């Protein structure tokens, strides 16, 4: 039983290795794979047809024609021996030229030349040699490499050597290439038609993928389902999903606006009540708590509401960062801005401004020197915000993006900090199809890298 399992394991392992090797070399795109599905059967079918045609039809025809030429050569040699007089031999030359279409030349008695080198494809040589061996009782010499599509056959007789010249059409089917030409032309036409149809079928899928990708980046692209029935169904499902997401965002925004109004009303009542109270230490503490509550409510509502209703437009990131750099310098903090590549991208301006405001605000709060760097390679835009502050320990960098999470050990929290700045920034970046990562800054503090698709 164990030996049987081991015997089955080796072929299975070889098959898996071959499948992995083949999978690594197969095209990854749908269009290329679909085209391969069309091309591969045609190539295999043509190969099978060509092999059968060559093996059966052409080879059989070549052997039959070679047999006919061998009979003619044998008859000429026998006739030469049967009519030793000059008149009979002249008649034989005339019959060979007129009736057999073979030019007969009489050469002096001599040894036959060395065999000629064979072609790479020597079916004619093999067939003609085989058939001549069956008919002739004497040695012979053939040459199929002559120009003008001629074949030379030399047969020694008693007092001379007969040199016979015939066209290659006497020995093999010369019009076989027409079959291959027609087969190739038909294949090219079929492939052209298949390629055109495939391109028309793949184009709606590509448009659907682009619409889904743009929607994931927070951009709105006009899309209508087209193509085959299944592709149209997928497109309709995407549009329905998009409508549901937009409706959910709209309902959430409407609900939060109502919550915001109710909470602001209560906070306003607290403020009015405190304003009517006499000044004192207890009232001052309560006012401070109400102000802190108001900031937290505003920050939470901004985080939960987002900016889903804003339209995406071409936005100049360098202009935003330059304003933040100037604001940083007004606070007495050193700031620089470096731009490499196109500083614009398609995004929601207010959201992107808030993203960078939160990140630069964190750098202003904890650092004394800030560097802003924009890098655009044509596919993605990377914005680095470096500071020389205390930084964030490696094990807590991911926790820093959690809402209301406070980094008590790494960074002292100011009174106005609610722990939502990085959470809001990452939420905005991801809603644009990007992300934010934290690492150690070359300045010694924290580097916040914003990656956004352009």
d(Cα 310, Cα 39) in Å, to the nearest integer?
A: 48
Question: Domains of the chain: which residue ranges?
Answer: 54-170, 236-303, 308-453
Between 450 and 88, the higher pLDDT residue: 450
Taking residues 184-189, what's their average pLDDT? 82
Q: What is the pLDDT of residue 317?
A: 92
Q: What is the SS3 assignment for 102?
A: coil
Instruction: Say which residue, 359 or 119, is predicted with more confidence.
Output: 359
Average pLDDT, rounded, for the chain = 80
Q: Is the pLDDT of residue 249 over 60?
A: yes
Helices within 217-335 (DSSP H only): 229-276, 281-305, 317-330
Has residue 408 got a pLDDT over 60? Answer: no
Minimum mean pLDDT among 106-110, 350-354, 370-374, 401-405: which range?
A: 401-405
Q: Which of 32-36, 92-96, 252-256, 352-356 has the lowest mean pLDDT?
A: 252-256
Q: The whole model's pTM is what?
A: 0.52
What does the alpha-carbon distance between residue 132 and residue 73 come to, in Å, rounded to a whole number?
Answer: 8
Least confident of 142-156, 217-231, 277-291, 387-401: 277-291
Position of tokens 């920050």? 299
pLDDT for position 409: 45
User: 173 falls in which pLDDT band (50, 70, 90)?
Assistant: low
Residue 417 confidence (pLDDT) = 59
pLDDT band at 411 (very low <50, low <70, confident <90, very high): very low
For residue 410, pLDDT beyond 60: no
Q: State the architecture of 308-453 in CATH terms.
A: 2-Layer Sandwich (3.30)
pLDDT of residue 251: 76
Predicted confidence at residue 437, as pLDDT, reads: 92
- Residue 382: the pLDDT is 93
For residue 64, pLDDT beyond 60: yes
414, pLDDT greater than 50: no
Report yes or no: 361 and 327 within 8 Å, Cβ to Cβ. Answer: no
The torsion angle over the Cα atoms of residues 268, 270, 274 and 276, rounded to 10 degrees, is 70
pLDDT in tens, 379-398: 889 999 999 988 888 888 88
Please say whether the beta carbons of 138 and 186 come within 8 A.
no
Please state the φ and ψ torsions of residue 136, each to the nearest 5 degrees: -95, 145
In the structure, what pLDDT confidence band is assigned to residue 308 with cuts at 50, 70 and 90?
low
Span of 254-263, 299-308, 349-358, 408-417 with lowest mean pLDDT: 408-417
Which tokens sit at 446? 């924290």
pLDDT at 439: 92
Average pLDDT (18-37) is 74
Q: What is the pLDDT of residue 120?
A: 44
Least confident of 73-77, 222-226, 272-276: 272-276
Query: Taking the chain, what is the end-to-end CA distance rounded to the nearest angstrom?
Result: 61
Percentage of residues in the chain with pLDDT exceeding 90?
13
Task: Tell me the CATH number for domain 236-303.
Answer: 1.10.287.130
Q: How confident is the model at residue 415 (pLDDT cuts 50, 70, 90)?
A: very low
The tokens of 185 are what?
């032309």
What is the CATH T-level fold of the domain 54-170, as seen in this structure?
Beta-Lactamase (3.30.450)
pLDDT per position as a tens digit, 206-236: 888 888 887 877 677 788 888 888 888 888 8
- What pLDDT score was predicted for residue 119? 58
For residue 425, what are the contacts with CB-CB under 8 A and spacing of at least 6?
A: 354, 355, 358, 359, 436, 448, 450
């Amino acid at each position: 039983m164990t030996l049987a399992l081991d015997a089955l394991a080796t072929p299975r392992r070889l098959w898996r290795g071959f499948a992995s090797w083949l999978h690594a070399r197969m095209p990854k795109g749908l269009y290329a794979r679909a085209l391969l599905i069309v091309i591969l059967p045609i190539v295999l079918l043509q190969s099978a047809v060509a092999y059968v045609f060559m093996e059966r039809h052409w080879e059989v025809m070549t052997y039959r024609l070679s047999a006919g030429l061998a009979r003619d050569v044998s008859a000429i040699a026998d006739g030469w021996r049967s009519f030793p007089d000059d008149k009979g031999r002249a008649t034989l030359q005339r019959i060979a030229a007129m009736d057999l279409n073979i030019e007969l030349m009489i050469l002096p008695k001599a040894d036959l030349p060395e065999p000629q080198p064979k072609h790479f494809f020597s079916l004619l040589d093999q067939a003609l040699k085989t058939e001549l061996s069956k008919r002739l009782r004497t040695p012979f010499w053939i040459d199929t490499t002559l120009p003008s599509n001629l074949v030379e056959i030399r047969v020694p007789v008693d007092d001379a050597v007969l040199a016979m010249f015939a066209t290659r059409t006497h020995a093999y089917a010369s019009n076989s290439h027409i079959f291959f030409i027609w087969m190739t032309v038909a294949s090219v036409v079929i492939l052209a038609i298949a390629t055109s149809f495939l391109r028309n079928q793949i184009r709606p899928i590509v448009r659907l993928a682009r619409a889904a990708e743009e929607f994931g980046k927070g951009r709105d692209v006009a899309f209508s389902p087209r193509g085959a029935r299944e592709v149209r169904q997928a497109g309709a499902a995407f549009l329905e999903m998009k409508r549901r997401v937009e409706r959910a965002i709209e309902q959430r925004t409407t609900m939060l606006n109502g919550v915001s109004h109710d909470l602001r009303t209560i906070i306003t009542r607290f403020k009015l009540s405190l304003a009517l109270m006499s000044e004192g230490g207890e009232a001052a503490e309560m006012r401070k708590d109400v102000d802190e509550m108001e900031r937290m409510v505003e920050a939470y509502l901004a985080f939960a509401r987002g900016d889903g209703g804003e339209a995406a437009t071409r936005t100049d990131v360098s202009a935003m960062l330059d304003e933040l750099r100037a604001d940083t310098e007004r606070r007495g903090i050193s700031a620089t801005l470096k731009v490499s590549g196109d500083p614009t991208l398609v995004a929601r301006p207010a959201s992107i401004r808030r993203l960078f405001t939160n990140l630069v605000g964190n750098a202003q709060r904890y650092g004394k020197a800030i560097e802003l760097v924009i890098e655009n390679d044509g596919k993605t835009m990377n914005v680095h915000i470096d500071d020389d502050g205390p930084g964030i320990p490696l094990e807590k960098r991911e926790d820093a993006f959690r809402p209301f999470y406070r980094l008590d050990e790494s960074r002292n929290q100011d009174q106005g900090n609610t722990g939502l700045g990085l959470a809001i920034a990452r939420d905005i970046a991801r809603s644009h199809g990007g992300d934010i990562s934290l690492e150690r800054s070359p300045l010694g503090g924290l580097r916040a890298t914003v990656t956004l698709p352009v």
